[in-house]
Amino acid sequence: MSDKTACQRYESQVRSYCREFPVVFQRADGPYMWDVSGRRYVDLLCGAGALNYGHNDPHIATALRDYLLSSGPVTSLDLYTVAKSRFVERFVDVVLRPRGMDHVLQFPGPAGTLAVEAAIKLARKVTGRTNVIAFSGGFHGASLGSLALSSSPLLRRAAGTPLGAATILPYDDGSPAALDHLERMLQDRGGIDPPAALVVETVQGEGGLTAASTAWLSGVQRLAREAGALFVVDDIQAGCGRTGSFFSFDGTDLRPDMVCLSKSLSGLGLPMAMVLIRRQLDAWQPGEHNGTFRGNNLAFVTAEAALDHWTDSGFLAHVDRLAAEVGGSLRELADAEPGGGATVTGRGLMSGLRFDEPGRADQLKRRLFECGVIAETSGGGLVLKFFPALTMTVAQWRETADLVGDAMTTRRSPAAVLGA
């Protein structure tokens, strides 16, 4: 069956993205997807950041195909395998060693929320404390520990149980007030328990693409150190190149005790997650934290192949150029919004438009889908998010930016703008 009838009849009501984009997709390549009728869509959702290299990147897909044909093990718990060993060595060589990061790698299971769960569990073990501080507007996952750190009212209500052992404090708002408030809470205890960890996103994917300043992030790190707490960066959505560099904190003085990674870590959209742990903090006992699918060898293979992009000077230069193009286009689009009711938000290829008018972003999301562009909203529906594939050409982005501009400036249906 090639239509959506079976899913509508038998899949849980919890499904969401398919309600916003109600077509059946059949093929995907690079920045595009095609539905069963052959219509092409520009994918600016990119699996909510899980497809940073676009769909079916040829180099990564070839590595996966070759591994499957070699009859290598697919899943292996935490047994040693050639696939895992090759990935670990490559990750250390390409990512950690050049940055002077002496972190060990933990594979907690194949989802971002599992990386966060492992990180806060280890922080509590190391410090002997239970409270974890997170920040307003943040999203760290939908499992109970991660959810306690997340701000979404919808997801928190769905927990069905009190969410404790966490304190949510104000995120950077561009003024000294947020950091001052955090400092007072930590120094005077402010009615909160001493924290085991401070967990932060440098750019909030679900919180409206709000990007924290380097000064605020440095202040959070300093206060964590002074409080005897661990400093944890959740780079699940902002990492793996989404903001322009491999880590979202590259080029800063941030030295996280732990880093949570997932989404585009595998490079091809295969489930994979990892926690980077400063070596001195690796206090786990063997088997103390585990997961059946922490040995996803298919993801190890594709993740290793994805790292080849980060040793390619041409790819790095392209990402910089594309980010500059996206930033320039968004500024032009914001300037063209009537009444100056739009501003650019985010960083790098994790950017979007914030609208003053409630409902405007959702209206544009629907209009863009009519003309063959898939984009999501965040920040309470005020921000239209653009997550282009890092491999998208500048020409492809310019064509897409023109479609966005057309959707913003015309009230007619743009269904015929983009052909199949």
The mean pLDDT value for 337-345 works out to 91
CA-atom Rg of the chain in angstroms: 21
**Residues 192-244: pLDDT tens digits?**
899 999 999 999 999 999 999 999 999 999 999 999 999 999 999 999 999 99
pLDDT tops 80 at residue 173: yes
What is the pLDDT, as a whole number, of residue 3?
A: 80
Q: What is the pTM of this model?
A: 0.94
Nearest residue to 368 (alpha-carbon basis) of 407, 338, 420: 407
Of residues 237 and 413, more confidence is placed in 237
313 Rama sector, left if φ>0, alpha if ψ -120 to 50, beta otherwise: alpha
Could you give the percent of the chain with pLDDT greater than 70?
97
The mean pLDDT value for 306-321 works out to 98
Of the candidate ranges 234-243, 342-351, 408-417, the one whose mean pLDDT is the lowest: 408-417
Q: How does the average pLDDT of the chain come out, rounded? A: 94
Nearest residue to 263 (alpha-carbon basis) of 116, 381, 374: 116
pLDDT tops 70 at residue 412: no
Paired sense of beta strands 131-135 and 383-386, if any: unpaired
